[in-house]
Amino acid sequence: MLSLLGVPVLLFGLAARLNPLLVVTAAAIVAGLAGGVPPFALLAAFGKAFNDARYISVAFLILPLIGVLERGGLQARARVTVARLRALTVGRFLLAYLVLRQLTAALGLLSLGGHAAMVRPLIAPMAEAVGDTYLGSGDEARSVLIRAHAAAVDNVGAFFGEDIFVALGSVLLIQAVLGQNHVVVEPIHVAFWAIPTALVAFAVHAARLALLDRTLSRTAAR
Amino acid sequence: MIRVDVVYDVVGAMFASIAALSAMDRANARRGFNAAFWALLAAAFLFGNVLGDLGNGVLVLMLVLIGGSGRLGRSHPATTSEVEREAVAARHGPWLFAPLLIVPVVTVAGSFIFKAIRIGGAPLVDPGQVTVISMALGVLIALGVAIGLLRAPPAAPLQEGRRLIDAVGWAAILPQLLAALGGVFALAGVGRAVGDVFGHWLPLEARIAAVAAYGLGMAAFTMIMGNAFAALPVMVGAIGAPLLIGRFGGDAAAIGALGMLCGYCGTLMTPMAAHNIVPTALLGLPPGTVIRAQAPTAIVVLLANLALISLLAFRS
């Protein structure tokens, strides 16, 4: 029960705006020692879990490619491409990406999107260029709002699309966790019950993108 | 058999080169900190298998101390100007987008093709890691095409990669560190303790209270851990399986799926999740802006999920 002390350490550290690396490590130390794990075993477990999780950081391998393409004007080119489309608004453009992201994620094609691979080089500069085309040039606050929404659309689309695909990690994890509790389910049924939430999430976020358009137009008119 | 360690060697070589370039960067007054940080991360990738668990633990602590000290500098390697970029972009037109598409195409194609190739009965590529390996292959092919297309100087990929990874800075190791925290929490029995609190101390006699505790607990625990995958075993074990499925006879597949989706709503709202940290760094956004863009959607979908569990998991 004492191992729960790690949780308030996390909450306090986040609230105090301390560096998250230090907060996370402190939480691990407190939870481990309070949970009765000997210091050296704790350090070894921390090291092993970090080593086993290296696959997560492999995603940074794409950065040199993105950097070289940016050097060759990828973002500039992306802006030019959408600046010609006069009927587009920021919200409608991001909605199109949401549709694409959610559908491809539902087909198991998660690698078609992502913040490093798609949002930074293409989606964010395109969304900003769309805004500049019909709203006129804007300030930093507008740029921040649009870029944050570009990042958000990628997450919403991926999260509420991927669970519809049977063979992805999350559906298989749900099946395994239920199995550990002696409950047998078919992956296809798990994937099926992700569909209602996918529809709700799409409707909600589409409405919010429409609201984003209204906010942008109102601030631009002022 | 080709294993994921080949990819780790490539990533390690990338970080080692970035560390060397950082050390030589006289324009960065804090180059020593940058060089040490990326060199340690390179060591984790290149030598992680031979360092041993304790060695890796010491390595993580050193990474955390350097990264957490706030002393990492931001480098500004020489790159092209905005005017040059527009000129190059005008020359290449839509072909500039091609390398970007090579990565997902090779990732998807590789995932299917490599699974089918067997040499002497053994698979050519480790079937469990085929996606990561295909992705790395796709990046390398795309990089070759991009360099050929743009006639970029040989040092450009590493210098441009350094420009971007320095923008991410210490946050680069946070996703991996959170996974390590999950490992320690599991060892220390945090999940079991949370399960005990929910399972024994909360009055969950009414079905609606159990549904709310399950869904909101998934979201809250995901926010703390930064990861729905770590929260699901805890909440299914504490409430989902014994109460919702066992006592109230709910549909197991629906309860599992919707529980995970409640967790994703938590991911959208937590500063601990890599999905919010990495874009904030990569897009140069002020802290909290991505979460503010996501939170209203997350809250509405979370409430809808609670209603959906009540409706869909208990249909009869």
Looking from the CA of B83 toward its CB, the CA atoms found within 13 Å total 0
Beta bridge partners of B96: none
Q: B126 in contact with A at a CB cutoff of 8 Å?
A: no
* Separation of CA B144 from chain center: 25
**Measured between CB atoms, which of A10, A44, A192 is closest to B53?**
A44
**H or E element at residue B123:** strand B122-123
**Which pLDDT score is estimated for A2?**
83
User: How many Å lie between the alpha carbon of A194 and the closest alpha carbon of chain B?
Assistant: 6
Tokens of B271: 């500063």
Nearest to B262 by CA among B216, B296, B230, B307: B216
Place of tokens 């209603």: B307
pLDDT band at B185 (very low <50, low <70, confident <90, very high): confident
- Give pLDDT tens digits for B117-145: 888 888 888 887 888 899 999 999 999 99
**Measured between CB atoms, which of B89, B254, B285 is closest to A76?**
B89
Question: B-contacting residues of A 67-96, CB under 8 Å?
Answer: 67-77, 80-81
pLDDT at A168 over 80: no
Q: CA A12, CA A113: separation in Å to the nearest integer?
A: 34
Average pLDDT over residues A81-97: 89
Q: A209 in contact with B at a CB cutoff of 8 Å?
A: no
Q: Indicate yes or no: CB of B152 within 8 angstroms of CB of A71.
A: yes
**Which pLDDT score is estimated for A56?**
85
Mutate to test the interface with A, among B65, B187, B192 (most CBs of A within 10 A): B187
Looking from the CA of B126 toward its CB, the CA atoms found within 13 Å total 11
Average pLDDT over residues B216-226: 90
User: How many Å lie between the alpha carbon of B205 and the closest alpha carbon of chain A?
Assistant: 21
Q: Give the distance between the most distant pair of CA atoms in chain A.
A: 64
Mutate to test the interface with B, among A9, A22, A115 (most CBs of B within 10 A): A115
Q: CA B68, CA A23: separation in Å to the nearest integer?
A: 9
Q: CA A81, CA A60: separation in Å to the nearest integer?
A: 27
Q: B260 in contact with A at a CB cutoff of 8 Å?
A: yes
**Which pLDDT score is estimated for B76?**
86
Beta bridge partners of B118: B123
Average pLDDT over residues A63-89: 88
Q: Indicate yes or no: CB of B190 within 8 angstroms of CB of A205.
A: no
Share of chain B above pLDDT 90, in %: 54
Tokens of A4: 């729960």
Place of tokens 């490619």: A65
Q: Indicate yes or no: CB of A64 within 8 angstroms of CB of B161.
A: yes
Place of tokens 């990669």: B161
**H or E element at residue B118:** strand B118-119
* Pairing assessment for the beta strands B118-119 and B122-123 based on DSSP bridges: antiparallel
Beta bridge partners of B123: B118
> b vs e for B264-291, b when ≥16 Cβ sit within 10 Å of the residue's Cβ?
bbbbbbbbbbbbbbbbbbbbebeeebbb
Q: CA B267, CA B254: separation in Å to the nearest integer?
A: 20
Nearest to A153 by CA among A124, A131, A128, A133: A124
- Give residue B89's identity as a one-letter amino acid code: A
Q: How many residues does chain A have?
A: 222
Q: How do the domains of chain B map onto residue ranges? A: 4-174, 189-313
Residue-averaged pLDDT of chain A: 91
Please answer whether residues A3 and A31 qualify as being in contact, where contact means their C-beta atoms are separated by less than 8 angstroms: yes
pLDDT band at A167 (very low <50, low <70, confident <90, very high): low
Average pLDDT over residues A62-73: 92
**Measured between CB atoms, which of A37, A193, A201 is closest to B254?**
A193
Q: Indicate yes or no: CB of A58 within 8 angstroms of CB of B278.
A: no
pLDDT at B63 over 70: yes
- Give pLDDT tens digits for B240-268: 988 899 989 999 999 999 999 999 999 99
**Which pLDDT score is estimated for B182?**
84
Q: A132 in contact with B at a CB cutoff of 8 Å?
A: no
Tokens of A222: 């002022």
Tell me the chain A residues in contact with residue B283 when contact means C-beta distances shorter than 8 Å. Answer: 115, 119-120, 124, 147-148, 150-151
pLDDT band at B9 (very low <50, low <70, confident <90, very high): very high
Q: A31 in contact with B at a CB cutoff of 8 Å?
A: yes
Tokens of A216: 């942008």
Distances (CA, A) of B146 to A216, A220, B119, B129, B136: 36, 38, 32, 26, 15
Q: B94 in contact with A at a CB cutoff of 8 Å?
A: yes
Question: B-contacting residues of A 133-152, CB under 8 Å?
Answer: 144-145, 147-152
Sign of the Cα torsion B208, B216, B265, A89 reads positive
Angle at A29 between CA A28 and CA A32, to 5 degrees: 80
Distances (CA, A) of B86 to A2, A76, B76, B157: 59, 6, 20, 19
pLDDT at B71 over 90: no
What ipTM describes this predicted complex? 0.91
Q: Indicate yes or no: CB of B282 within 8 angstroms of CB of A1.
A: no
Tokens of B302: 């979370």
Question: B-contacting residues of A 158-197, CB under 8 Å?
Answer: 159-160, 163, 169-171, 173-175, 177-178, 180-186, 189-194, 196-197
- Give pLDDT tens digits for A35-48: 999 999 999 999 99
**Which pLDDT score is estimated for B234?**
85
User: How many Å lie between the alpha carbon of A14 and the closest alpha carbon of chain B?
Assistant: 8
Q: CA A123, CA A143: separation in Å to the nearest integer?
A: 13
Average pLDDT over residues A14-36: 91
DSSP A201-214: HHHHHHHHHHHHHH
More confident position, A11 or A111: A11
Nearest to B222 by CA among A119, A212, A7: A7
pLDDT at B201 over 80: no
Q: CA B25, CA A16: separation in Å to the nearest integer?
A: 34
Report how many helices (DSSP H) and strands (DSSP E) chain B contains, helices first: 13, 2
Tell me the chain A residues in contact with residue B93 when contact means C-beta distances shorter than 8 Å. Answer: 77
Q: CA B236, CA B195: separation in Å to the nearest integer?
A: 9
Q: B170 in contact with A at a CB cutoff of 8 Å?
A: yes
pLDDT at B66 over 90: yes
* Separation of CA B75 from chain center: 24
Q: CA A55, CA B241: separation in Å to the nearest integer?
A: 31
Closest-approach residue (CA) in chain B for A149: B293
Tell me the chain A residues in contact with residue B10 when contact means C-beta distances shorter than 8 Å. Answer: 61
Average pLDDT over residues A142-147: 96
**Measured between CB atoms, which of A109, A147, A208 is closest to B283?**
A147
Tell me if residue B119 falls in helix, strand or coil: strand
